Amino acid sequence: MKFFIDTANLAQIKEAHDLGVLDGVTTNPSLMAKEGITGEANVINHYKAICDIVDGDVSAEVIATDYENIIKEGEALAALDSKIVVKVPMIKDGIKAIRYFSNKGIKTNCTLVFSSGQALLAAKAGATYVSPFIGRLDDISVDGLGLIEEIRLIYDNYDFPTQILAASVRHTAHLLGCAEIGADVMTGPLSVILALLKHPLTDSGLAQFLADHAKAAGK
Ligand code: E4P
What domains does the chain contain, in order, with CATH numbers?
2-216 (3.20.20.70)
Name the residues annotated as catalytic.
Answer: 87
Residue pLDDT, tens place only, 4-17: 999 999 999 999 99
In ligand 1, the atom with minimum distance to the C-alpha of 87 is 2
Residue nearest to atom 7 of ligand 1 (CA): 168
- In the chain the beta strands, taken as DSSP E runs, fall at 2-6, 24-26, 57-61, 84-89, 108-113, 129-132, 163-166, 185-188
β-strand pairing of 57-61 with 185-188: unpaired
Instruction: Output the CA 89–ligand 1 centroid distance in Å.
Output: 12
* DSSP string covering 58-98: EEEE----SHHHHHHHHHHHHTT-TTEEEEEESSHHHHHHH
Mean pLDDT computed over 115-123: 98
- At 165, the pLDDT band (50, 70, 90 cuts) reads very high
Mutate to test the pocket of ligand 1, among 163, 168, 191 (most ligand atoms within 8 A of CB): 168
* DSSP string covering 35-48: TT--SHHHHHHHHH
- At 218, the pLDDT band (50, 70, 90 cuts) reads confident
Rounded CA-CA distance 187/92 in Å is 25
**According to the model, what pLDDT value does residue 46 have?**
98
**According to the model, what pLDDT value does residue 76 have?**
97
